[in-house]
Amino acid sequence: MSLALPDPFDLQHLQKQLEPLTLGRPLYYFETIDSTNAFLRALPRDQTRHGALALADHQTAGRGRFARRWASPPGQALLFSVLLEAAQPASLWALLTLGAAVSLCRTLERKRIVSPRIRWPNDVLLGERKVCGILIEKAATPTALVLGVGLNVHQQLEDFPPALRESAGSLHLAAPRAWQREELLVAFLRDFEQVYAQWHDGQGDRILADCRSRTSTLGRLVSLHSHGRRVEGVVMDLDQDGSLVLREPTGIVSRWHSGDIEEIRWGMEKQP
């Protein structure tokens, strides 16, 4: 297990820090829960409030995209979800996902982490290692959505399943220091409030500009897997709705709203 010092949440102190913000209230805290996203999604309509925050020390059934499991030992990751007014149509939710990734990058940059990068559509990388995943899902009411964030903080390599030890990372691995999850949470929410306001007001161009400068694969040759299909091409841009613009070898320019991408490096291409 990780040798990181205990990093408990001081809920009274946390609530006081959240008071000036529009996000983070009411606060639901769980030592263990299946999924913070699932909890907020299941809130009845009369309890659905913009800004509600579900925070967990441990998740037993945390999920990423395509129902993939997000595994983390207790106390090692920052795991939370926020309930938000769905101020824009579902076709623009991917743009908000990228906006959350921008906020996470800026939060880490303020903590002197060098060059965090965004891997479309919903990951944050330090070097080649994934430290954060972001997931947006619809809530019980059509006027709300749930944004979930899983950030690896204290993990050492042995805390990850063997299959992930080449690709997963944490803040501790990138910069060994006394990280505090509570401090990271408040800093993220403070920045994300601004991003959400931009998205709410239709200022997607500002989000995209910040995202493009941090996107790890812009201008790179990638392999994209989406719904059983595999396509190679050069990442040309991010479209106005957050979709990926890909130029395929045939010259066709295609746009993708979801999928997994992997950069193709020199020496890795298939031989004829």
CB 73 within 8 A of CB 220: no
Residue 73 lies in a domain: yes
Residue 4 lies in a domain: no
Considering the domain architecture, whether residues 40 and 100 belong to the same structural domain is answered as yes
Radius of gyration, CA atoms only, the chain: 18
Considering the domain architecture, whether residues 151 and 227 belong to the same structural domain is answered as no
From first to last of its 272 residues, what are the pLDDT tens digits of the chain?
444 457 999 999 999 999 999 999 999 999 999 999 999 999 998 899 999 999 999 999 755 444 455 566 789 999 999 999 999 999 999 999 999 999 999 999 999 999 999 999 999 999 999 999 999 999 999 899 999 999 999 999 999 999 999 999 999 999 999 999 999 999 999 999 999 999 999 999 999 999 999 998 999 999 999 989 999 999 999 999 999 999 999 999 999 999 999 999 754 444 33
Considering the domain architecture, whether residues 44 and 74 belong to the same structural domain is answered as yes
The confidence score (pLDDT) of residue 6 equals: 74
> CATH number of the domain that 203 lies in?
3.30.930.10
Considering the domain architecture, whether residues 186 and 114 belong to the same structural domain is answered as yes
Sign of the Cα pseudo-torsion (30, 32, 38, 43, in order): negative
Considering the domain architecture, whether residues 242 and 129 belong to the same structural domain is answered as no
Considering the domain architecture, whether residues 113 and 185 belong to the same structural domain is answered as yes
> CATH number of the domain that 237 lies in?
2.30.30.100
Considering the domain architecture, whether residues 97 and 227 belong to the same structural domain is answered as no
Considering the domain architecture, whether residues 67 and 173 belong to the same structural domain is answered as yes
Residue 6 lies in a domain: no
Taking the C-alpha atoms of residue 108 and residue 97, their distance in angstroms, rounded to an integer, is 17
Considering the domain architecture, whether residues 248 and 166 belong to the same structural domain is answered as no
Residue 114 lies in a domain: yes
Residue 270 lies in a domain: no
> Could you tell me which of 117, 135, 130, 106 has the C-alpha nearest to residue 206?
106
Residue 26 lies in a domain: yes
Considering the domain architecture, whether residues 225 and 128 belong to the same structural domain is answered as no
Taking the C-alpha atoms of residue 109 and residue 174, their distance in angstroms, rounded to an integer, is 13
CB neighbours (10 Å) of residue 197? 12
The boundaries of the domain holding residue 236 are: 221-263
Considering the domain architecture, whether residues 256 and 227 belong to the same structural domain is answered as yes
The confidence score (pLDDT) of residue 158 equals: 93
Considering the domain architecture, whether residues 119 and 246 belong to the same structural domain is answered as no
Which of the listed residues 187, 212, 237 is the one where a domain comes to its end? 212
The confidence score (pLDDT) of residue 69 equals: 57
Residue 166 lies in a domain: yes
Residue 236 lies in a domain: yes
Q: What domain count does the chain have?
A: 2
> Could you tell me which of 172, 185, 137, 161 has the C-alpha nearest to residue 72?
161
H helix intervals, 86-162: 93-110
